[in-house]
Structure 1
Amino acid sequence: MADHLPLEFAQLVAIEAIAQAARAHQPPPLPPPLHLLPSIYRPDCAANDRVRLWFGPNPPPSSFLTRDPLFAYLRELGANNSLAVQTNYGSALRKYHLFCDLFSVEEHRRLPSSFAILQSSSLRTIGTIGTDTVLKYLSAVSTWHVVQGFPRPLLPQQLEEVKFTLKGLARIMPTRKRPPRPPMTINNLRAIKLQLDLTSQFDSAVWAILLCGFFGMMRLGELTTKKKDSFVEEEGLRRRDYEIGRDREGTGYGILRLRRAKTLAVGGGTQDVFITQQEDLCPMQAVNHLQQLVGGVDVDVPLFSWSKDGVVRPVTRSSFLKRVNGILIAAGINITFGHSLRIGGATFYLSEGRPVELVRIAGRWKSLAFELYIRAFELSVEPLETSSEVPSARLG
């Protein structure tokens, strides 16, 4: 039963159990590498044994005339001696299951796998490793199927389609140093909120940044500063840069006027980001709550700020990451911030049925990176956020 629970639910349960530790503001100093979620189907073993010892809940189809154990023994003996570099297979299998964990692919859908899952996992790696390496990973997953007694998961024409797509993307997208970040989800946000002390100015500032970044699809550098004394130099968001308006129906919305952004030309004025009223996770309420806590009437102080010893300070990127990642790491959630917040908001809007082009424009994307995320999202068998517990969102 545990293997079929949604990943976000398992994370929520785990994070509630570490409330006291998280509130102590004592996160581990550095985020650990991504870890596979525990599973009876993936016993702890050496990398070169994974292709044999890792399995799934589905029984393989019968491939013998009788149940004589001799046939099964001979088949296993032949399969094991046919394997080449088993360590490479083990590394590829680990990456495959990490992808499945991050995108909440249930155990029974991993073996046998599907064209949608395998192509999605392939597209997520493009730009981080070469096309040949991606195809080797697919070959390893295919071999794993055979060793476990299943047919190869990709038909020849499906493999050709994957090759064709990867070849084209490799021509126009340079290799990245790191893979795309897994997206933040609504349930992740709710889990983080449980551990934040919203009577604290700093935690309230962190919460406002999370919601504005998620629903506004903003870059973390647009919401935080590199150093506590570089706010003016970086032209960070001030209180005067936040305005509230109402649409024709009388519904309130907020405008964040960026003076400095990645897609804003030098001397090009400002760039507006719209945030709208949500239900239980409302960025406008979070900003209003923060301003009431910090107090004061100076409109030139940082919008996302907190005071210490009577001095109003901006939230730095490092302090924000330390606080949020401390909660996530303690809960064993395989997310570290970068574009996780930004792409999480985009993924949420897409799962709500918002037009792809509208999401791209609202998120101010101009590069191929957005198309890669969208392609992987569309090929997922089930979207990340499709349950009725997700609140209906307004986009701009």
Structure 2
Amino acid sequence: MDTIGLVKGMGMEGYHGKGTGTNRLKLCRVGPTTVRQQDCFKPPSSLRTVHLNKLLGKAHELLHTGLAKSSRKTYVAGKRRHFNFCKLVGKKPIPTTECTLTLFGTHLATSNTSLRTIKVYLAAVRHMHVCKGLHKQFNYQVTPRLQLILRGIKKRQAGRRFTKPCLPIIIPIPRSIKTALSKEAPSYDSTTFWAMCCLAFFGFLRVSEFTIPAENSYDSSSHLPLGDIAVDNRTKPRLLQLFLKQSKTDPYKQGTKVYMGTTDSTVCPVKAVLSYLQKRSTRPGPLFVTEKGKGWTRSTFCARLKSVLHKLKLDNNCYNTHSFRIGAATSASLAQLPDDHIQMLGRWRSNAFQQYIRPPPKELAKLSKTIVTGHHPRARTV
């Protein structure tokens, strides 16, 4: 830094020259330009600390928001298991080592934890390192030996079932549900439940897309409100439009429109939803509410579904709320809809929809005759 001039009477405290009555102003030479040092003045350390703390707090908030809410909940469980294990064996939880990870995975396997959950918990440990800026140290610990241990766990757990089976609700079951509800005394609750079933099936919906997590947890920015449903014609509606503000495949809330049409049968989403809307009050809030105005929760819908399936003498332990989405994909496949149409209807971004197609054994048995005759049976109709 060179002194290239004098400025008199500037009154710059802290930059006084040696001469009496004269204040010396130093200039900083930065590259080809010259900048006065008063323009490069650094704020007091206390102000810098406050600003830095605000930025750190904002960065922590963004790190928290960068992970989906469901993933955060799962990762909290994984991190807790990791810390408890490290405390048990006297290992340092972070930064971790390959030995600690292999022992942790083995400990989970011996605790009757599925390989899928083990991988999620390891991802939680990695996320913990990423948030601390130690992702490189963690990546160095994911060695071929750890991969071999995970493969060994997979072989040991082969044939074991850690989750309950989830059978599809294909088109004959909704008809049976409609019949069972018609035998009950007409009620607001039955009308609401039937509309939810039709919407879930024909919209390929996840239960979180048309219910709320718990009472008093309704959020208009993410849950389905009354105002996000529309029809093409008020007198003779043939099309129903549903606007989803957020979904599993749309975490950035770009919004997705789901379309359903009339089926000219007893199982019709347009008729079912309009019948419900005629009974529902116009009070803003969740689309599906009870007579008391409270939103339908996931647990309430699941309990009602299992109750109806039990009346139909079906094993309600083999069905859950996701059975509608699985059943919709399966029914579409049985109806010989093209794969790209099924993918579009279910809003899948990959070939993951193929895992949802689960034809019943009777439909698979028919393929034996098809192989011999070469004649494919006619497509099923709704």
TM-score by length of 2: 0.49
Considering Cα pairs closer than 8 Å and 6+ residues apart, tell me whether 1 or 2 has the greater RCO: 1
